[in-house]
Chains A and B, each alone.
Chain A
Amino acid sequence: MAGARRKLLLMGRSGSGKSSMRSIIFSNYSAFDTRRLGATIDVEHSHLRFLGNMTLNLWDCGGQDAYMDHYFSTQRDNIFRMVEALIFVFDVESKELRKDIETFVLCLRNLYEFSPTAKIFALVHKMDLVIVEKRQDVYRALMKSLEDTSAMFSFQVQGFATTIWDESLYKAWSSIVCTLIPNVTVFQKHLHTFADISEADEVILFEKTTFLVISHVTNARSPGFRSDSTRFEKISNIIKQYKQSCNKLRAQFQSLSLRGSDFTAYLDTMTANTMIMVIMSNKTDSRGSTDLLGNSEINGDSDDSFASEAENNIILANIKIARKMFEKIEMMNPDAR
């Protein structure tokens, strides 16, 4: 069944981190493992199935000058035709920022000619090498010049500050991939319905292999629900590492349920390509007294565990029922609304 094919151009100076990013998100490398990646020779093509109805055609373009010259001359129409998105990586430590921006402009010029509807993303990468206080300024300064240059070609550029050493990489790539999913609004709508029926505080839909966030719904019902705004990418990061640990035992993890101090989280397989995470906060106040050693005596202990078992089953049943619906969405004709 022909799904939507999305061509992504990954460009940037040699050594800026393009292949490292690609291997972490799509090939299960850890940040540490990326040390052993060598320079990319010419263009490396990867075809990645994303959800049931979309193939990402990722063109990782080696950044060495010799290759770059070819891209803008002999290979121009091959590279820049039918591009859905350009992801340009800027190394924050680059000594030749001017030249990088010029290359960016060249890309924009070619895209304007061959793929004028392409989306433009700029990743300001290796931010871990900048001291914390300066990061905002460095990012804004670069983005200002990029926004100005993109405007010249009537493109709107979206920027992200990233590093492979924390969850910011997941945030950037989740956002990028989400704009490419053909029927993401359908997912959002049905996820909303699911969240309402389950009376969940939060529901997140992840793609199974990369653990990028496809969609999320927050219905902050309980008064105490104040969460970390970077939690989505942190979850991607945490679970990705758990997947790698499970691989050591030659197994994959199928589900995870977490009974926290005042909430419960369920992470389960939704369809063959997605996993769903449901967060429910505890409605009953089961806090008892706390003695000096910090041991809490919970009143109504047995009631609490019965309630959570029933709740567990309800959520799993809901997911099972919703599964069919979500499978249909994935198989949908990508151009349908």
Chain B
Amino acid sequence: MTMSVDEVHDGHAFGPNPSPRIVMMGLRRGGKSSICQVMFHNMQPLDTLYIESTTAPTTSVFSSFIDFAVMELPGQINFTEAMIDAERIFSSCGALIYVIDSQDEYINSLANLHSIILHAVNANPNINIEVFIHKVDGLSEDFRLDAQRDITQRVTDELLDDGLVNVSISFHLTSIFDHSIYEAFSRVVQKLIPQLATLENLLNVLCQHSGIEKAFLFDIGSKIFVATDSSPMDVPTYEICTDFIDITVDMNNLYAVDRRPKPVTRNDANTNNGTVSITNRLESIPQGRPIGSTSRLSNGVILYLQQMVKGLALVCLMRKESMPKIALVEYNIEFFRDALEQLWLIG
């Protein structure tokens, strides 16, 4: 995790028109628009088949706790022509996500990636390059690891050949049909949050003093997790936390007096073409007492959710032995909430 992105961050205030902080590129039909629609516009993964080709740069503004903009550049762009424009974009962005279609021949993709990296690092040496090896839902487990190894090898070799050694580059296996895309995006966003170390610290302290086994700080709208404590993380835990957020929000919308747009229940095939943007989903949580929910599972695990400031939610896993002391836990969480508020007032 590089702290040098602070320099990029400090140059830009949180204004109503934030400059793009994340740029998404890749060859056409790679899956860039699908990723944006599923993550930020609540589209069902199956419906992404009907998305048309992107012809112009599209920006999704993701304004919850931090004003993010994800700018998607169309795959057909003839890069050399757009070079000058691109350099301007790169200099103000914190991360470049490059999407590779793993089900297709990726040699051309890698060549494109290489030239993009050269320009990006030239314009902004601190940029984080994140490679999404996408559409892995169609590949077997062995094949995925092979593809990841192969791509990592090739890309790093080419960069070494050009003498670029200090490039911050990471590789992620992703698919919109499971939680891997959310996890990968979480990691990308975490590197761009200057307050990350503080948040992790706060979560660690909270967990130690409250008997919490695992805690996540999620963004409710996009289900990206902003921070987690230092205990080891496994994917099923992350998945159940995201599902828990979904059901809490859906159930709340059924009974909340403040009627907002109806929730899109997950197996609903009739989504209105993904026009429910992320801020709509956030507004569908009425103001008032912060929402919380608790669920007991048969294996002794307790899932605990508390809504925090700015569209964030704290999701914890505890053991049922902690339940008698839940008042103390909630007391500690109030301190955590205050700390978050102060953090954002400063930030």
- A residues touching B (Cβ–Cβ < 8 Å)? 30-32, 128, 132, 164-167, 224-228, 231, 234-235, 237-239, 241-242, 245-246, 248-263, 265, 279, 281-282, 286-287, 290, 293-296, 298, 301, 304-305, 309
The count of chain B contact residues (Cβ–Cβ below 8 Å) is 48
Indicate whether A258 sits within 8 Å of B269 (C-beta atoms), given known contacts A246-B297, A248-B240, A249-B301: no
Chain B nearest CB, measured from A126 CB (Å): 11
Chain B nearest CB, measured from A28 CB (Å): 14
Most B CB contacts (10 A, CB to CB) among A227, A281, A295 go to A295
Q: How far is the CA of A250 from the CA of B269 in the complex (A)?
A: 28
Chain A nearest CB, measured from B225 CB (Å): 17
Q: How far is the CA of A234 from the CA of B247 in the complex (A)?
A: 11
Which chain A residues border B295 with CB–CB below 8 Å? Answer: 253, 255-257
B254 lies within 8 A of chain A by Cβ? yes
B231 lies within 8 A of chain A by Cβ? no
Q: Is the CB of A241 within 8 A of B243?
A: yes
Most B CB contacts (10 A, CB to CB) among A30, A238, A290, A294 go to A238
Q: How far is the CA of A256 from the CA of B285 in the complex (A)?
A: 19
Most A CB contacts (10 A, CB to CB) among B251, B268, B294, B296 go to B251
B191 lies within 8 A of chain A by Cβ? no
Q: How far is the CA of A265 from the CA of B301 in the complex (A)?
A: 20
Which chain B residues border A245 with CB–CB below 8 Å? Answer: 239-240, 243-244
Q: Is the CB of A250 within 8 A of B299?
A: yes
Indicate whether A258 sits within 8 Å of B239 (C-beta atoms), given known contacts A234-B265, A242-B247, A296-B288: no
Q: Is the CB of B254 within 8 A of A246?
A: no
Not counting A226-B257, A259-B292, a sample of 16 additional A-B residue pairs whose C-beta atoms are within 8 angstroms of each other reads A165-B267, A165-B269, A224-B257, A241-B267, A242-B243, A252-B298, A253-B295, A254-B297, A260-B252, A260-B255, A260-B256, A261-B287, A262-B286, A287-B289, A298-B290, A305-B327
Q: Is the CB of A237 within 8 A of B265?
A: yes
Name the contact of B239 in the complex, choosing from A248, A253, A256, A309 (C-beta under 8 A): A248
Which chain A residues border B321 with CB–CB below 8 Å? Answer: none
Q: How far is the CA of A176 from the CA of B252 in the complex (A)?
A: 28
Q: Which 5 A-B pairs have the closest CB atoms?
A: A261-B288, A245-B243, A224-B257, A251-B299, A251-B297
Q: Is the CB of A249 within 8 A of B287?
A: no
Most B CB contacts (10 A, CB to CB) among A128, A263, A309 go to A263
Name the contact of A295 in the complex, choosing from B269, B296, B309, B334 (C-beta under 8 A): B309
Which chain B residues border A256 with CB–CB below 8 Å? Answer: 293-296
Q: How far is the CA of A228 from the CA of B260 in the complex (A)?
A: 11
- Which residue of chain B lies nearest to A227 when distances are taken between CB atoms in the complex? B255
Q: Is the CB of A128 within 8 A of B292?
A: no
Q: Is the CB of A294 within 8 A of B287?
A: yes
Q: How far is the CA of A225 from the CA of B326 in the complex (A)?
A: 30
Name the contact of A258 in the complex, choosing from B258, B259, B293 (C-beta under 8 A): B293
Q: Is the CB of A295 within 8 A of B256?
A: no
Q: Is the CB of B297 within 8 A of A263?
A: no
Q: Is the CB of A262 within 8 A of B289?
A: yes
Interfacial residues of chain B within 307-333, with CB under 8 A of chain A in the complex? 309-310, 326-327, 330
B55 lies within 8 A of chain A by Cβ? no
B11 lies within 8 A of chain A by Cβ? no
Q: How far is the CA of A262 from the CA of B255 in the complex (A)?
A: 9
Q: Is the CB of B299 within 8 A of A263?
A: no
B291 lies within 8 A of chain A by Cβ? yes
Q: Is the CB of A253 within 8 A of B265?
A: no
Chain B nearest CB, measured from A292 CB (Å): 12
B7 lies within 8 A of chain A by Cβ? no
Which chain A residues border B286 with CB–CB below 8 Å? Answer: 261-262
Indicate whether A249 sits within 8 Å of B240 (C-beta atoms), given known contacts A165-B267, A282-B289: yes
Name the contact of A262 in the complex, choosing from B257, B266, B292, B299 (C-beta under 8 A): B257
Name the contact of A167 in the complex, choosing from B251, B257, B258, B265 (C-beta under 8 A): B265
Q: Is the CB of B256 within 8 A of A261?
A: yes
Interface string of B270-304 (1 = CB under 8 A from A): 10000000000000011111111111111101000
B341 lies within 8 A of chain A by Cβ? yes
Indicate whether A166 sits within 8 Å of B267 (C-beta atoms), given known contacts A259-B291, A295-B309: yes
Q: How far is the CA of A63 from the CA of B338 in the complex (A)?
A: 62
Q: How far is the CA of A318 from the CA of B70 in the complex (A)?
A: 51
Indicate whether A239 sits within 8 Å of B247 (C-beta atoms), given known contacts A252-B298, A279-B255: yes
Q: Is the CB of B291 within 8 A of A261?
A: yes
Q: How far is the CA of A190 from the CA of B81 in the complex (A)?
A: 75
Indicate whether A259 sits within 8 Å of B265 (C-beta atoms), given known contacts A239-B247, A305-B330: no
Q: Is the CB of A237 within 8 A of B267?
A: yes
In the complex, 30 of the A-B residue pairs with CB atoms within 8 angstroms, ordered by the A residue number, are A225-B257, A227-B254, A228-B262, A238-B247, A238-B250, A248-B236, A248-B240, A249-B240, A251-B299, A252-B298, A253-B297, A255-B295, A256-B294, A257-B295, A259-B292, A259-B293, A261-B252, A261-B286, A261-B288, A261-B291, A262-B257, A286-B289, A287-B288, A295-B310, A295-B341, A296-B289, A298-B290, A301-B334, A304-B289, A305-B330
Interface string of B217-229 (1 = CB under 8 A from A): 0000000000000
